[in-house]
Structure formats: C-alpha cells, structure tokens
Amino acid sequence: MAFADEYKEKTGETVPIDREAFVDKFPHDAFIVRLNLAVAFGSLGVGGLFGMIQALHRTGIYRGFVSSADYYTLLTGHGVLLALVFTTFFITGIFSWAVVASLDEKLSERLSKTWFATMFVGTLLAGLAILGGLTGGPVSADVLFTFYAPMAAHPIFYLGAALLIVGSWIAGVDWYLAYRRWRAEHPDDRIPLRTFMVLATMLMWYISTIGVAVEVLVFLLPWSLGLIPAVDPLLTRTLFWYFGHPVVYFWLMPAYLVWYTLLPKLSGGRLFSDPLARVVFVLFVILSTPVGFHHQYVDPGIPEGFKFIAMTNTMFLLLPSLLTAFTVVASMEHGARQRGGTGRLGWLRALPWDNPAFSGCALAGLMFAAGGFSGMINAGMNINYLVHNTLWVPGHFHLTVGTAAALTFMAITYWLLPQVTGKNLKLKTVAMVQPYTWFVGMTLMSNAMHRAGLAGVPRRTAEPQYANVEFENVIGGIAEMRLQIAIGGTILFIALLMFLAVVVATWFGDRSAKLEVNSELPPALSGPQNSPVVLDDLRIWALIAIVLVVIAYGPPLWSMVADGLFAPGSPPIPV
C-alpha cells in the first residue's frame, strides 16, 4: 500500500508527504536492498550463535552444545555464514543503494531479481550442505570457510558457492549498466564517488574471483562428483588464496565507502579529499591480487622468491589503508570543529558519540588500526612462522572483517534502514549502547586470541589441550586468556542480539511521515575536479592489475600444472 493511503487509513487524515526518502523515490530498488539486508541479517544471527558456541566450547567453559566432532560443522557454518554470506549480501545491498542514490538511476528490475535469486539459491544449497553435517547423513561440508582440498564437501556445497559468486557477478553487471545509462546522459561529468567506489571494488572482484571460480568449477566440483580421480592440493590452495586475499578487500572497501562518503557527514563535516579517496580505491584495484602467497608462506612447492614478491606487494598494499586513516580522521576532525570542537585532541569530545551510526563506524576504525597492525605482522615472511595457524590469526581477522567490516555494516544500518523502509529507528537506547558493547566484547576476545596465539595455542581446533601451559612474562596465563575469549564471545553475541532487536523493531514498526535521517551528502572539501580525469579510467588500472598478477602468479602456477593437472606436488623453480 502506498504510504499516503496507509497513513490515511490509520489516522483518517491526509498528510502531505514531505519525504524524499530513497524508498519513496526508488521503491523497487529499496525492495531489492531490503531483500539483501534480510538475508544478511538472518545469516548474521545464525552465524553469530555458532560463534558463541565455539568460543565456549574450545575454551572448555561449556561443552554441552555440541560434540567436538560436530565443532567443525559449526566452525564451517560460522565462517561461511558470517565471512561469506552476511558480508556478500550486505555488500550487494549497500552497493545497490550507493549506485542508485548517487547516479539517480534505477537498476534493471529483471536483472536485480535474477542476481538476488541466484545468490539466494546458492546460499540455501551451501547452507543445507553444511547443516547436513549435524545429521550424520551423506550430505556434509565440514571444510571450513576456506574450503580448499584435500578436505572434500558434498557437491551441492560447491555448487552453492559457485552460484553465490556468479550472482555477485551479475549484480556487478546490473550496476555497470546503470552507470552506462547515466554516462549517456552525463558525457562530461566525473563518476560520482560512491559509484566510482562500487565499480572499482567490482573490478577487483572480477579479477580475483576467477581464481576461486576455476578452483571450484574445474577441480573441486568435478572431484566431488567423482568425475576426476584426484586434485593437486597445492594448485587448488594457490587458486583459493589468489582469491582469498582480495576477498578481504571486498569486505573492507564497502566499509571504506561508508567511512569516506557517510562518516564525514555523520561527524558534522565534509570529506577532506575526494581525489585521495579515488587514489585509494585505484591502489586496491592494482595491488589486491598479486599478494595471495602471504597466506602460503609455509607451503612447500612455491619458490621463496615468489613469496618474497608477494610480501613486497603486501607492504605496498598498506599504503591505501594508511592514506585512509589520514583522510578519514581529518574529515572527522573537520566535522568536530564545525560542531565547536577545539584543541589538539579536545575536538574528539565534540563528535556525536551518542549517534550509533557514527560511534559504530568510529569504533570500527579504531579497532581496524589494531587489526591492520597485526596484519603487518602476519605479512612479514619470517615473523609469520611464529603466528601462522595459531589463534593469533583469528584474533587478526575478528578485528578486520569481524569489526572493521561487520561493525561498520551494523552501524550504518541504523542510518540506512530508515531510508529503505521509510520507518524511523526504534529502540534507540539499545542502538546507542550496541556499538560499545561490541567494542568491549571484541577487545576482550581479540586481545586474548592474539596473546594465546603467541603462546602457541592453535586455531581451528575443538581440543586445544593447553590447560597446563604456563605463559610467563605476561599478565595471567592460558586460563585467563580462555576466560577472556569466552566472556568476550558471549558479549559479542549479546551485542548481536541487540542489533537484531533494533532491526526487527524498526522493520516491523509503523511507517513515518517524516524521517529523522536524510541522505543528502555534503560535497568534499577538495572535490573530484582537483584530480586528473585519468583516475576514473578504470580500464588502465585493470590492465596494470592484470600485468602484476601475471608476474606474481604466472611462473609458479605454470610449474604447478606442468607436472600434470591433477598430480599432487610440483618441482620448485629456482629464482
């Protein structure tokens, strides 16, 4: 029912609608965004529950939920539902909003329904395969969210994963076509920043998902169907990690889109520099992919020289995030000073810490500073041997994907949901406290995970038998770290329930005549006109990205396939 009719039915009065919300202007696109958000938040709830169960299980605090054998089923569900499903659907949702809102151009109704349905069916198949593991039947997929060989899943898991990715490809086409329609009418304009960010992210996504698509469609799926006798674990792992690093920027870049384009407004100011934001996204396009070997430093069969190239590229790849830290904090400071903030650090107090959309993004950024730091440690070839496969690594990625991305996504939902539902936020006090609750839970959990990793506690296990290890020179011991992880994990689950309560209350609330938020974005202090037009020519950056990928991956991949496509192992090439 149209909003005006519904209002009249309820109140008997006719109201002039003074809303120019996204949902009023683009009802179908708002519907698509809502569909994506619904799947994202459903996965978030289930995946988060699995997370709390694991935290309690592996720390030995409470082991009554599942057996240690089923732990891996839950661990797979946790990783897939949160890192792959929640993120992807939230991203396709917010990207659809970003493209439509910044171009003032609708998406294709047919195409958007198609990509959503493809992704949704894929998710159902993969989800069923994973949960099948709990039944003890023939369908299972206890392969963890990295799902490479030699562990094997039921074919429907691989099929589901493939559909999720193919759906995201079609979504990219939908956004690109909207851009083309806009371009036909605006031949000389610069690409609006939000759309530029979406297109750059998708370009990186196309280049990097080729690896996982080949892995799944050429190797894992035929292998699980019994069509080929064996796969080469090194080759399939390499194809996975070719995709496995850029996928983390597929999660991060949408958070950066929020930090660059929305956080300055939420802070009360304007983006410091639009050109710098474009440079950052171009750097991600170029450098995100030729670094995957930093996940394989300990793998035999990959020449050290190529691992070294990956390490060097990874260190260059810190640059876009360091530039982001500068630009985003400068924009926040500008906002704070507009709000009357003064002093060298005193301006921090003038920021709207009681607005959850703001505080969530700012706390996510703060935690990412720590997560980025542990990433630098991971990236060093020699120091990686100390932390690889320990609990340090989950400590790192709960700060990055689990906070920089996830908390930003939750925070901006408080701002976005009213605009795609036409309903003002409910349970505002719960929303206000929620980002802080997440922050406290994550501080406890990730800190203890990093320290436990240094003490040698392994990741990916239900039975880390380290109860009696004394860990000298640092406060507390293993028991204290386990307690912190369990308490932190439980607090995080509570924060998640708070978030979902706000979402559900808002979603099922009444539509509002006037929205408390609006989507007008102030222009950047330094606008796109201050940067060269070539920055927007994504074809050039794609070409450079592909050349770097060929240099980084060509020779090692060739040596892996040269000894037979399905044969395990390969002779190292001297460098």
CA distance 35 to 29: 10
58 binds ligand HAS (CB under 6 A): no
Given the rule CB under 6 A, which of 322-330, 437-445, 462-470, 517-525 is the region that contacts ligand HAS?
322-330
Phi and psi at residue 466, to the nearest 5°: -120, 20
For residue 361, give the amino acid letter: C
H runs (alpha helix) in 59-154:
71-79, 87-103, 109-132
Q: Of 237, 451, 459, 482, which one is the catalytic site residue? A: 459
336 binds ligand HAS (CB under 6 A): no
List the end-to-end C-alpha distance of the chain, in Å, as a whole number: 68
248 binds ligand HAS (CB under 6 A): yes
330 binds ligand HAS (CB under 6 A): no
Task: Examine the residue annotation and report whether 58 is marked as an active-site residue of this protein.
Answer: no
Task: Examine the residue annotation and report whether 459 is marked as an active-site residue of this protein.
Answer: yes
- Residue 314 or residue 519: which is nearer to ligand HAS going by CB? 314
| Joined tokens for residue 19 | 């809303």
- Residue 325 or residue 430: which is nearer to ligand HAS going by CB? 325
CA distance 31 to 422: 11
Assess whether the previous peptide bond of 27 is cis (omega < 30° from 0): no
CA distance 159 to 122: 7
H runs (alpha helix) in 455-537:
478-507
Tell me which residues touch Cu ion (CB under 5 A). Answer: 245
- Residue 95 or residue 116: which is nearer to ligand HAS going by CB? 95
295 binds ligand HAS (CB under 6 A): yes
| Joined tokens for residue 450 | 């990093």
* Among positions 117, 121, 318, 513, the unique one binding ligand HAS when judged by CB under 6 A: 318
CA distance 490 to 558: 47
What mask, x for binding ligand HAS by CB under 6 A, covers residues 145 to 174? -x----------------------------
Query: What 8-state DSSP symbol labels residue 291?
Result: T
322 binds ligand HAS (CB under 6 A): yes
Residue carrying the six token digits 């030995």: 60
Q: Of 245, 270, 278, 294, which one is the catalytic site residue? A: 245
Size of the site for ligand HAS (CB under 6 A): 36
Minimum distance, C-beta of residue 387 to ligand HAS, in the bound complex (Å): 6
Local structure of 390: helix, strand or coil: strand
Residues in the chain: 575
CA distance 550 to 430: 50
* Among positions 366, 505, 525, 540, the unique one binding ligand HAS when judged by CB under 6 A: 366
Task: Examine the residue annotation and report whether 398 is marked as an active-site residue of this protein.
Answer: yes
- Residue 245 or residue 423: which is nearer to Cu ion going by CB? 245
Q: Which does 403 bind (CB under 5 to 8 A by kind): Cu ion, ligand HAS, none?
A: none
Minimum distance, C-beta of residue 333 to ligand HAS, in the bound complex (Å): 8
DSSP string, 120-139: HHHHHHHHHHHHHTTTTSS-
The residues annotated as belonging to the active site are: 245, 249, 396-398, 459-460
Residue ranges in contact with ligand HAS by CB under 6 A: 146, 248, 251-252, 259, 294-295, 314, 317-318, 321-322, 324-325, 328-329, 332, 362, 365-366, 368-369, 372, 375-376, 378-379, 384, 388, 393, 396-397, 400-401, 404-405
